[in-house]
Amino acid sequence: MSKQHLLKWLLFTFAFFPMFLVAQEVKGVITDEATGLPIAGANVLEKGTTNGEISDFDGNYSISVNNFPAVLVFSYLGYETLELTVNSATTLNVALKESATALDEVVITGLGTSIKRANSANAIATVSSEELTGRTAQSTLDGALYGKVTGVNITASSGAPGGGFALRLRGISSINGNNQPLYIVDGVYVNNNEIPSGLRFASGANRGNEENSGNRIADLDPNDIENIEVLKGASAAAIYGTRANAGVVIITTKRGKMGKTNIKFSQDLGVNTIINKLGMRPWTAANVESTFGASEVALYNAAILD
C-alpha cells in the first residue's frame, strides 16, 4: 500500500470514527403516578456508574448511555425508587409512586436534633462543670465563662461590685438591637431583657454604669451546671430563628443520678484589685461654693462628717 493510499485511509477513519463513539440518548417525562403532574428535580442515574441527570421543571429528562443494556434508577424524595432496564435509545416515560416511609428521610427540628459534632455546620465549644468551678472564678455564670471559650468576648459593664457582663459571640450583630446571644436552659428559651432599676430609673434619668444589670444566666449557680455548649456559627439562626443571630448558648443543668449519695463542699476566695489607679481632684468646700453656691456648703460639710 502506497503512502498516499495509507494517508487517505487514515483520514477516512479519523473522520468517521467519532460517530461510533457517540452515546445514545434515553429521554422521557417523569410524573406523579397519582396526579399525573410532572416531577421537577427527580434523579436519573445509570446504575453502577456516576452518570446521572435531573429532570427539569416540566419533568423532562435526557440521559446519555454508552453501553446497552443499561439499568436506569429513578428516585425522588417522598417517592419509591424505580429501576428500569433499557436495551436501546428510546423514549421512556416514568411514573413514580409516593412512599409514606420515604417521607421520614428528612426531619427538621430545633432542640431535638442530635448530630455528630463533625457533621455540624456550626462552630461548637463545650464547657464542662469542672471547667466552670474547678478554679477560683466569678460567683456568677457569665463571669465564670470568662476565658473558657475561644472567640467569645466577655466584658464587664462596670467596675462596681455585682456589675453585669456583656457576652458577644459574633461581634456586634445589630446597631440598635440586642447583641447578646440566645440563652437556652434545659430546652427553655431565656428572656434576657433588662429591667432598669435604682434611683435614676425612679427619677426618669438615664442609668449610670454602676446600675447596668447582668445577663439572666447570672441567676444560675455555676455549681448547678452540667455543661454549656456555645454555638458560634451563623447557621444557628437557621435552627433557632432570628433571636439566635448573635449565637446560641445552650445550658444543661445537673440532674439526679443513680448511685451513692455524694456531698461536695468547696470554698473559693478571690481578690479584685485595681490595676491602674486614676488620679482624683481634691474636692473642697471652696469648690462646692464656686460650683453650686454657698447654700450647698452645709450639705457638703454634713456629708464629710457622716
Mind listing the pLDDT tens digit of every residue in the chain (306 residues)? 566 666 666 655 555 544 444 568 999 999 999 889 999 889 999 998 888 899 998 999 999 988 888 999 999 877 889 999 998 888 999 999 987 654 444 433 354 445 444 445 556 777 877 777 765 555 677 667 777 777 777 776 666 555 667 777 766 766 666 677 888 888 888 876 655 555 455 555 555 544 455 566 777 888 888 888 888 766 666 677 777 778 888 888 888 877 788 887 767 677 777 777 777 777 788 888 888 888 888 888 887 655
3-state secondary structure the chain: CCHHHHHHHHHHHHHHHHHHHCCEEEEEEEEECCCCCECCCCEEEECCCCCEEECCCCCEEEEEECCCCEEEEEECCCECCEEEEECCCCECCEEECECCHHHHHCCCCCCCCCCCHHHCCCCEEEEEHHHHHCCCCCCCHHHHCCCCCCCCEEEECCCCCCCCEEEECCCCCCCCCCCCCEEEECCEEECCCCCCCCHHHHHCCCCCHHHCCCCHHHHCCHHHEEEEEEECCCCHHHHHCHHHCCCEEEEEECCCCCCCCCCCCCCCCCCCCCCCCCCCCCCCHHHHHHHHCHHHHHHHHHHHHC
pLDDT at 163: 60
Rounded to a whole number of angstroms, the CA Rg of the chain reads 36
Domains along the chain? 22-100 (2.60.40.1120), 117-253 (2.170.130.10)
Question: Facing residues of 25 across strands?
Answer: 64
Assessment of whether the complete model's pTM goes beyond 0.85:
no
Q: Rounded to an integer, what distance in angstroms lies between the CA atom of residue 203 and that of residue 220?
A: 31
Q: What is the pLDDT of residue 99?
A: 77
Provide the pLDDT for residue 235. Answer: 66
